[in-house]
Structure 1
């Protein structure tokens, strides 16, 4: 459904002028004339992309994109298009497969001796550089002189993951981004951010991605974005979980083999590669750059906990669209070569990480006590200006290249961990959780008949929910837990999910309440917070008197609680509730998280 508003002509004219103004008042550009411009074909070329035809200013619609790719695939023996799912509005999410050996099935590609690289664009549909770069690259592979790239690796390319957001196109999409002329929207048709969905799997796009990863088993996953924020000289910034993650050997491979070669390729073509950049003060880099520890709700950290080598590209939004697309092309081309050249070392790294001991899993990281070191930073000169409108100080970028030495602030210090049980049990009635685990690709045993199981459960003693929704859900602001064992009769269809499997760390992250990306913290068990049976005062008073008369130990505990807890002693409601909890009438399932641990 589309919502349209009728605007007077004068307002439309004002909006049009504001669009021009937004581009004109951006920070000044550094001149750029990279060698990668040689990748652009002549206007007469039969296979020119819409991006090139527009002189690097525009990106085609979903319909135009898929028509162009479909024509390309029909004219090549090495390309095939598969639909991996439907968006919320019913658009096919398409994936292009490139294989010189014409291995197009998941069975063939997952068992091939060649590495398999998965790269996606448009998870945030306004950040679409990867789509146009991928179109050029596939053109040059299938119709140009770069077929030999398929000797290094097979490819999976998703040109538009967030197809609905892509078609919410406008010239007013991202005010701080230099092109394309029309941009898609960040979120999907349900206003959900796909790159916050890798653990909870609520969107069609990320559910499709999970199925692709499970079916095709790629060896490298690249997610292509465009960042925003402070200005700097770098045009192609990217990162992976370098420290504080779940795949240390993969991280070592990426830093030893992959990053040096990709960086050099970008430099050779006139680009300036850099790490992921987040200003510590949210304005400039004078106080340092933060290397955040992202949770597995994000693409590259989801890959890290799955032991899937994963890269997050963040091109700089203040650089021209053409420059960003060409840099992405160079990145992808070199990624293919590097993975193919060092594939055996990568396989060894992945195997080592998958075979790690799983005695405990870190569920939260925090900043180091002091910065790790200083980094040479290729910045842009700026000055602080006091606003005549608000009186507030803001940063004014001056468009002059400078080199700074800034602190590197790492968020890789373990803050909390949990022991790993032998398995988790999920009752059949929580089918939504079971279905999500299946989509993630977990192995599980399904009960065919009822069974009594002794398990450990967590019970919420105190909690506070957030006042504002996040991704449509009310997460926990704080909570306290108590753990105890109990026997539970599980019905047929309930599942046992063991932790001794390749995705064991991810299972812990999803199941343990302390994890910031657990199903509990995402709010999937909120119904257990409601108390559904009560006891009237006229029943409680005589029952409490009888309980105190018959149970001396209960009386001692009650008196001690009153002495040590003043608020309890002053609250009749708290006293009634405490006594009610001592009776067999009390709901034994209230606030008990229905995920059992088997030790």
Structure 2
């Protein structure tokens, strides 16, 4: 009883404290940090001090405060321009900051410049806002400080807040697992959709804006800045790209051989500890290894990979202090500019090679290797298992003590399913939403201006099971079986032909082949084909079946064989009627046929 009383006393004492204070106070201890990058912080008396610096690295400004500060900076620099790239679901402008020493501010000028163009965005998950404050400091130092030479290396596109509505759903209770800033935004947008699951389906204003920017400006590097949750470790800036098992092998090689060593070196020199993307295999600690997932193109960096756009996902560690994370992001971005400028010719060569690679088949699904890759030297944090007095289960607690471990690296880069690539796909005009999304992706299409009959191959859904609840607002498939057959169809004006021999050919395959986990089919855009809308009454079926059996001996034989081989069928009038209905020309020939045809 004494032990229970002390536990109750502890809980009651916690309940008497402000919740935000509790979340920070009960976080695991963190390693002291005094990196050289602290020298990037200007004095509070500086005219261009950021709100982050004014708060001693504890706070991040609101949407309005951010844009007021950036607009003032742009008014005082000939090298900056601000453009709106879209409007959020709640009506806020999504702003793009362009930085160019040559004052190349149009899409045509930037996409054809001899300098590389780097696109970096913050706040796709609006509580994970490190990139906004780092970008503000960096632009300040470029335009008002001593780093204008960075614009000799590259032109810049900076989106300070992508998920602007989520950013303004701000409070001290935004992310309980994250050490600052004091007030944080929300992960999803105003419709509760996760923008970093939206790159293939393009349902959100934020990712629609990103697709528009990528198509319009044609950047040479794309950086998406996040903060991760999960287990503790020493690394403060972890990041990744598609290293193996992707669609742009030459770009992956360039990022591994040129980008990563130089960025890691810069971070280390400034007192940070860079690391790869880290996901504990057991969901708690790294004793069973780190998983290198194969993300599908619904995510930013893998969407970049399938577009042959070099793309980086930064995941700063949530348990590290906000100031440390922001400064690490600044160092990362600064070195990224230098590295891309230094090695731009070889990067262009890698991009061109991937865009022109032969494409007889496309992998639509990856699985784990049969055996782990080599072990990695892992800079971990000591932990222990504790038995909960509340639930009786064991859980991991972190001790704040650095350790070095050898942990297996579990790679999910084994191709487990692929599809052959046709000459082209055809999408009927009535599926205008899908056609519009293809257009938003920037995929080339030929539009029919008059009706046309054509023989195409189609997939039909034979069996299927839907998920029990929506994912990202849509009903996806849990499982399905397909068959394929040729059919002659009449396509109306407005139907489109999507050739696969184009720069975004792999993306077209991923979106249109039903086996792909990010296909429009699996996202549910063709779910209406699963509904059968015509039927036949029993009083019609009975005389019709008698007539059919009398006139078709082969049908009679098949019916008897069906009854003999399937007792359930023989006992079920419903199944018998159904079977005969399917043999008639009255049966809906379009039922469960996915309306994307393949031209071989």
* TM score, norm. by length of structure 2: 0.97
TM-aligned CA deviation for residue 468 of structure 1: 1.3
The CA deviation at 1:568 is 2.9
Q: Structure 1 residues 360 and 565, CA, compared in 2 at 3 Å: closer, same or farther?
A: farther
Give the match for residue 510 of structure 2: 509
Q: What residue number does 2:350 align with? A: 349
Q: Which one is further off, 568-577 or 259-268? A: 568-577
Aligned residue in 2 for 1:7: none
Q: Which residue of 1 aligns with 2:378?
A: 377
Is 2:404 the partner of 1:403?
yes
- RMSD over equivalenced CA pairs, Å: 1.1
Could you tell me how far 1:566 is from its partner in structure 2?
Answer: 3.7
Say which SS state the counterpart of residue 523 (structure 2) adopts. Answer: coil
Pairing 1:263–2:264 present? yes
Structure 1 match to 2:5: none
Deviations 1:120-176 (A, max 9, x none): 000000000000000000000000000000011000000000000000000000001
**Counterpart for residue 9 of structure 2:** none
1:500 and 2:497 matched: no
**SS of aligned partner of 1:245:** coil
CA distance in 1, matches of 2:16, 2:109: 52
The one-character-per-residue Cα deviations of 1:11-39 (angstroms, maximum 9, x if unpaired) are 9x958622111101100011100000000
1:75 aligns with 2:76: yes
Q: C-alpha distance in 2, partners of 1:51/1:333? A: 18
How far apart, CA to CA, are the structure 2 residues paired with 1:492 and 1:29? 63
Q: Deviations over 1:35-82 (max 9, x none)?
A: 000000001100000000000000000000000000000100100000
1: distance between equivalents of 2:340 and 2:16?
47
Whether 1:452 aligns to 2:453 is yes
What is the CA-CA distance between 1:373 and the residue it aligns to? 1.3
Return the alpha-carbon distance in structure 2 between the equivalents of residues 379 and 297 of structure 1: 30
Counterparts in 2 of 1:106-505, with a 5 A limit?
106-505=107-506
> SS of the residue aligned with 2:165?
helix
Q: 1:74 to 1:294 in 2, by over 3 A?
A: same
CA distance in 1, matches of 2:17, 2:108: 51
Q: Shift of residue 545 of structure 1?
A: 1.9
Q: Provide the aligned length of Structure 1 versus Structure 2.
A: 588
Query: In the TM superposition, what are the counterparts of 1:535-554 in structure 2 within 5 Å?
Result: 535-554=536-555
Question: In the alignment, which residue of structure 2 is the partner of 1:5?
Answer: none
Aligned to 2:94, what secondary structure does the other structure show?
strand
**How far apart are 1:567 and its partner, in Å?**
3.4
Query: How has the CA–CA distance of structure 1 residues 366 and 48 changed in structure 2, closer, same or farther, with 3 Å as cutoff?
Result: same
Distance 1:374 1:583, change over 3 A: same
Structure 2 CA distance, aligned partners of 1:306 and 1:36? 34
- Return the alpha-carbon distance in structure 1 between the equivalents of residues 492 and 16 of structure 2: 60
Matches of 1:571 and 1:404, distance apart in 2: 63
Residue aligned with 1:538, SS = helix
Q: Deviations over 1:480-507 (max 9, x none)?
A: 1111111111111111111110000000
Corresponding residue of 1:595: 596
Shift, 1:552, TM fit: 1.9
**d(CA) in 2 for partners of 1:563 and 1:31?**
77
Structure 1 window deviating more from structure 2 (578-587 vs 91-100): it is 578-587
Would the alpha carbon gap of residues 304 and 349 (structure 1) be closer, same or farther in structure 2, given more than 3 Å must change? same
Q: Deviations over 1:343-369 (max 9, x none)?
A: 111111111111111111000000111
1:109/1:16 CA distance change after superposition, 3 Å: farther
* Length-normalised TM-score, structure 1: 0.97
User: What is the match of residue 47 of structure 1?
Assistant: 48
Q: Deviations over 1:517-537 (max 9, x none)?
A: 000000011111111100111
Other-structure match for 1:30: 31
The 1:504/1:16 distance shift into structure 2, 3 A limit, reads: farther
Q: Displacement of 1:577 after TM fit?
A: 1.4
Question: 1: distance between equivalents of 2:58 and 2:299?
Answer: 29
SS of residue paired to 1:521: helix
SS at match of 1:150: helix
- Which residue does 2:18 correspond to in 1? 17
Instruction: Find the residue that maps to 1:520 and give its secondary structure.
Output: helix
Separation in structure 2 between the aligned mates of residue 95 and residue 14 of structure 1, nearest angstrom: 43
Query: What per-residue deviation string (whole Å, max 9, x for no partner) do you get for residues 527-567 of structure 1?
Result: 11111100111211221122122112222222333333343
Return 5+ residue gaps in structure 1 as ranges: 1-10
Task: Report what 1:567 is aligned to.
Answer: 568
Distance 1:16 1:195, change over 3 A: farther
Indicate the residue corresponding to 1:6 in structure 2: none
Closer, same or farther in 2 for the Cα pair 1:498/1:15, shift >3 Å? farther
Q: Give the distance between the partners of 2:125 and 2:218, measured in 1 at CA.
A: 24
